Amino acid sequence: MTAGKINSNTVDAQEAITELVGIDASGLSNQSVNFGSSNVPSMLAGQTLSNQLMSDVSKVVACVLAQANKFPELAKAIEERDRADGQRFQ
């Protein structure tokens, strides 16, 4: 893929999301931080915050991947439109 160039090309669109497809953060929502029997308020607040962040990061990654998976379909539609437009000028 050429950087800085806009293409209505399905190959370029697929290449653009290839790295994202390999990311799996689904396990983050199932993990949690536990400081055991600590009763230090700041540690307990940090534990709560860390657990919320892991869940939120998992949701953000899933959302980004869902949007990224739309790129090949969008590129295909644009490629077809460009091809049709190009035929009008022949």
What gap in Å lies between CA 6 and CA 31, rounded to an integer? 40
The string of pLDDT tens digits covering residues 64-82 is 888 887 877 888 888 888 8
Q: Average of pLDDT values for 13-41?
A: 76
1 or 54, which is more confident?
54
For the purposes of burial, counting CB atoms within 10 Å of the CB of 31, is it exposed (0-12), middle (13-18) or buried (19 or more)?
A: exposed
How far from each other are the two terminal CA atoms of the chain, in whole angstroms? 28
pLDDT at 5: 58
Please answer whether residues 8 and 78 qualify as being in contact, where contact means their C-beta atoms are separated by less than 8 angstroms: yes
pLDDT at 1: 47
